[in-house]
Amino acid sequence: MKNYDYLVVGSGLFGAVFTYEAMKRGKSVLVIDKRNHIAGNIYTKEEDGINVHVYGAHIFHTSDKKIWEYMNQFAEFNNYINSPVAVYGDELYNLPFNMNTFSKMWGIKTPAEAKAKIAEQIKELNITEPKNLEEQALSLVGTDVYEKLIKGYTQKQWGRPCDELPAFIIKRLPLRFTYDNNYFNDRFQGIPIGGYTQIVEKMLEGADVVLEQDYFKLAESGKLVDGSEVSWDKLLFTGQIDEYYDSCFGPLEYRSVRFETEKLNEENYQGNAVVNYTAADVPYTRIIEHKHFEFGKQPTTIISKEYSSEWKPGVEPYYPVNNDKNNAVYEKYAEKASKEDNVIFGGRLGQYKYYDMDKVVAAALACVEVEL
Ligand SMILES: Cc1cc2nc3c(=O)[nH]c(=O)nc-3n(C[C@H](O)[C@H](O)[C@H](O)COP(=O)(O)OP(=O)(O)OC[C@H]3O[C@@H](n4cnc5c(N)ncnc54)[C@H](O)[C@@H]3O)c2cc1C
């Protein structure tokens, strides 16, 4: 029987950073993942020379220079800037909401004109205490931006009309009064040239990695899928914390996404990596054209339509639903977890938290500091 210092459940970014750092400090690590590939949700797969973001568009962005430099050890990043476009019926707008959007919407030119237009619409609505997401959004951006760019999209994302959704989902709606289509405000941004999977591959170099291995089956039998027996001193678990505890305080809720990917026999389908469909009558929320993340010139293209969907056990959980009810349930799991001596929970599922990649790397490095 082989004994490891650490068993890392989940080969996503959190598990991979932890593994890399643990091995650097001389620890032995076994990494398992129930999927048939490494890298979790940042997995990219090369097809026809195009790196397909299999679990949705992933753009690395951060304002933390240390995290940027940390990631650049494992790959060279290109100068991709995320500048999505929104389609509403026959109309096309730049995102995030900025002077290009306002100019197209109202035929205006100056920031003062745009501010006046929005203020006028907000005043007419006279919403003092927003009771739901619809009122909250209207009181922040006025009628036109809400109706054309937020309403249908948000309804599709959550599977419910905006007036039935709680106001807390939208805390702020940044409006930018410059002609700047860069979606993120961060100082550093890019896509790893050659995709994300190579980053995780490098992080896991030297660790034993077993795929298509569910943790609960291993915990029950002590045996890996190939029949070999293993043991470990400590566990890092990056799967669902509620599942780990057999949902003893009740299940946590998530939202899921379904991706429909197709190859098209044309060079350039939509001219941009990310196009949002903001009308409620188009069933998908976005179309991703993968080649544009790396400025690809291939003769064919690959697109993915994203459909936001209900989560139920057995379906891939993507987004935690951090409402009061779920947060209260999560606190009970977190409390139980804090009493464990030999188990650490990390990542978006282990900590029931939406984390961008840079925050995952930072959290994993912080975990290493405490643990190692
Ligand atoms: C659609 C979408 C788009 C995103 N876009 C961006 C973006 O543009 N920029 C950005 O910074 N971030 C983005 N993110 C966030 C990014 O995906 C996460 O920050 C990151 O992937 C989290 O890594 P993780 O290791 O915590 O989780 P994961 O990548 O989910 O890894 C967890 C792994 O654990 C495995 N696992 C779970 N349970 C078990 C078990 N019982 N046994 C064995 N293995 C198990 C899973 O199979 C999975 O591989 C996006 C997320 C989504 C959902």
Residue 210 belongs to some domain of the structure: yes
Same domain, 158 and 111: yes
Q: What is the mean pLDDT of residues 321-328?
A: 92
Q: Looking at residue 313, what is its pLDDT? A: 87
Cβ 13 under 6 angstroms from ligand 1: yes
Nearest-angstrom CA–CA distance, 286 and 53: 13
Residue 355 in contact with ligand 1 by CB distance below 6 A: yes
For the record, the structure tokens of 278 come out as: 């903001």
For the question of residue 76 being annotated catalytic, the response is no
- The CA–CA distances, whole Å, from 229 to 11, 19, 26, 113, 223 equal 20, 21, 22, 70, 4
Res 173: pLDDT: 92
Kindly tell me if the per-residue pLDDT of 172 is higher than 90: no
- Do 89 and 164 belong together in one domain? yes
Q: Is the confidence at residue 50, as pLDDT, over 90?
A: yes
Mutational test site, ligand 1, from 238, 247, 261, 359, max ligand atoms within 8 Å of CB: 238
Q: Is 187 a catalytic residue?
A: no
In this predicted structure, the answer to whether residue 239 has a pLDDT above a threshold of 90 is yes
Tens of pLDDT, residue by residue over 278-317, are: 999 999 999 999 999 999 999 999 999 999 999 998 899 9
Total tally of structural domains belonging to the chain: 2
Helix (H) or strand (E) segment spanning residue 119: helix 111-125
- Considering 76, 90, 129, 172, which one is annotated as catalytic? 172
Whether 214 is covered by a domain: the verdict is: yes
Same domain, 15 and 64: yes
Question: Does pLDDT of 171 surpass 90?
Answer: no
Q: Is 306 a catalytic residue?
A: yes
Judgement on whether residues 146 and 201 belong to the same structural domain of the protein: no
Calculated CA dihedral for residues 139, 145, 148, 150, nearest 10 degrees: -60
Ligand 1 atom having least distance to the Cα of 16 = 25
Which burial class, exposed, middle or buried, applies to 248 when counting CB atoms under 10 A from its CB (0-12, 13-18, 19+)?
A: exposed
Per residue in 105-143, pLDDT (tens digit) is 999 999 999 999 999 999 999 999 999 999 999 999 999
- On whether residue 310 sits in a domain, the answer given is no
Q: What is the residue-averaged pLDDT of the chain?
A: 97
In a domain, 186, yes or no: no
State the Cα–Cα distance between residues 37 and 30, nearest whole angstrom. Answer: 15
Has residue 359 got a pLDDT over 90? Answer: yes
Look up 356 and say whether it is catalytic. yes
Residues 248 and 328 in one domain: yes
The DSSP element (H or E) to which 260 belongs, if any, is: strand 254-264
Tell me: do 196 and 70 sit in the same domain. Answer: yes
Residue pair 149/280 in contact (Cβ under 8 Å)? The answer is no
Going by pLDDT thresholds of 50, 70 and 90, the confidence category of residue 341 is very high
Q: What is the mean pLDDT of residues 47-57?
A: 98
Q: Identify whether 293 is part of a domain.
A: no
**Nearest residue CA, atom 5 of ligand 1?**
58
pLDDT tens by residue, 9-20: 999 999 999 999
Query: Of 372, 359, 368, 366, whose CA–CA distance to 13 is shortest?
Result: 359
pLDDT tens string 88-101: 999 999 999 999 99
Shortest-distance Cα residue to atom 20 of ligand 1: 357
Residue whose Cα lies nearest atom 1 of ligand 1: it is: 56
Indicate the residue among 138, 169, 200 that finishes a domain: 169
Mean pLDDT over 363-372 rounds to: 97
176 part of the active site = yes
pLDDT surpasses 90 at 194: yes
327 shares a domain with 209: yes
Q: Which of 144, 255, 269, 316 is catalytic?
A: 255
Query: Residue 298 falls within a domain, yes or no?
Result: no
Ligand 1, atom 31: closest residue by C-alpha: 12
Task: Say yes or no: 57 and 26 in one domain.
Answer: yes
With a 6 A CB cut-off, is 14 part of the ligand 1 pocket?
yes
What's the average model confidence in pLDDT over 48-53?
A: 98
In short, whether 135's Cβ falls inside 6 Å of ligand 1 is no
Answer yes or no: do 241 and 334 share one domain: yes
Average pLDDT over residues 242-246: 97
Average pLDDT over residues 242-248: 97
Q: For residue 251, say if its preceding peptide bond is cis, omega within 30 degrees of 0.
A: no
One-character DSSP codes across 165-232: S-GGG-S------SS---S---SEEE-BTT-SHHHHHHHHTTSEEE-S--HHHHHHHSB-TTS-BEEE
Q: Where are the beta strands (DSSP E) in 281-342?
A: 286-289, 301-310, 319-320
Helix spans in 284-339 (H): 324-338
Tell me, yes or no, whether 59 and 90 share the same domain: no
Q: What is the pLDDT of residue 138?
A: 98
Centre of ligand 1 to C-alpha 255, Å, is 13
Report the CATH number that the domain containing residue 236 is assigned in CATH: 3.40.50.720
* Inside any domain, residue 208: yes
Lowest mean pLDDT across 61-65, 314-318, 362-366: 314-318
Do both 65 and 204 map to the same domain?
yes
Which structural domain range is residue 225 located in? 2-76+191-252+321-371
